[in-house]
Amino acid sequence: MMLKAENLNVYYGPIHAVKGVGFEVNEGEIVTLIGANGAGKSTTLKTISGLMRSRGGSIEFMDKSIASTAPHKIVELGIAHVPEGRRVFTRMTVEENLDMGAFTAKAANLEADKERVFEQFPRLKERRKQIAGTLSGGEQQMLAMGRALMSTPKLLMLDEPSMGLAPILVEQVFDIISALHKAGTTILLVEQNAEMALSIADRAYVMETGRITLSGTGKELAASEEVQKAYLGG
């Protein structure tokens, strides 16, 4: 097992945002957390990457506890997190953003890593000298993903990669996620677009108001009546 989280409890001041959440991700899988806005999905990802802390509970990555590891050390261990809203460095160029993504990587591999990312995202190569703040939303999402891949992560966590994108770009983003998965990257995907997420996921968890309420394979959940009603407009 690559990632195993148990009994996560996360608070924003007095608000109990994540209540006893546990889940696992096996090597080579795409696992998705779906659920409505405010269900605690993003908070769960932030807790895995160390930006938020759980009171009690445990997080194990490759059989090592990371529940109290500093965020920058977690990146070194091989988890890359593409945050909600992309959060590219808008005042830096595309290439500088990629350099930051490679902060923990060996300097000797920098150019090779960049070429690899440019192959996956040719648009970024065209715009390499451009200031990231001037990119379109879709391009910024590509940059945020490319930047995360610069560290050659074992586990890639994506938070709402389709948010605010036109339908054609959403398809493109999901094609890229599938391609990354085929190339061997393990993926933990948080999405409000449940239909798209379930269509590519091996397994899925449904979150509601801070709790995991359902879990199963992507196909099972896509066929489940509850999910159909709540998230797929069926």
Partner 1 sequence: MKFLAYLVSGISLGSIYAIIALGYTMVYGIAKMLNFAHGDVIMIGGYVSYLAAKNLGVSPLVSVLIAMAVCTVLGITIEALAYRPLRSAPSLAVLITAIGVSYFLQNSALLIWGANPKAYTPVISGTLQLFDGQLSVSYISILTVACCIVIMVGLTLFTGKTKMGKAMRACSEDKGAAQLMGINVNRTISLTFAIGSALAAIAGALLCSFSPALMPTTGSMPGIKAFTAAVFGGIGSIPGAFLGGILLGVIEALARAYISTQLSNSIVFAVLIIVLLVRPAGLLGKYTQEKV
Query: Which residues of this chain interact with partner 1, rule CB under 8 A?
Result: 49-51, 70-72, 75-76, 80-81, 83, 85, 87-92, 96, 99-101, 103-104, 107, 133, 147-148, 151
Identify which of residues 55 and 72 has a Cβ nearer to partner 1 in the complex.
72
Q: Apex CA 24: angle with CA 23 and CA 30, to 5°?
A: 115
Q: What is the distance between the alpha carbons of residues 162 and 83, in angstroms, rounded to a whole number? A: 12
Work out how close the CB of 72 gets to partner 1 at its nearest, in angstroms, rounded to a whole number: 5
Dihedral sign for Cα atoms in the order 34, 58, 68, 78 = negative
Strand segments, DSSP code E, in 36-181 are 58-61, 64-65, 79-82, 155-159
User: In the Cβ-directed half-sphere of 17, how many Cα atoms lie within 13 Å?
Assistant: 18
5 or 80: CB nearest partner 1: 80
**DSSP summary character for residue 69:** S
The minimum distance between CB 8 and partner 1, in angstroms, equals: 18
What six digits make up the tokens of 124?
Answer: 């970024």
49 vs 224, beta carbon nearer partner 1: 49
Question: Least separation, in Å, of the C-beta of 87 and partner 1?
Answer: 4
Q: How far is the CB of 76 from partner 1 (least distance, A)?
A: 6
Distance CA 38, CA 210 (A): 8
Of 17 and 88, which CB lies nearer to partner 1 in the complex structure?
A: 88
| Residues 198/201/203/207 CA torsion (nearest 10 deg) | -50
- Shortest CB 200 distance to partner 1, Å: 23
Nearest to partner 1 of 19, 128 (CB atom)? 128
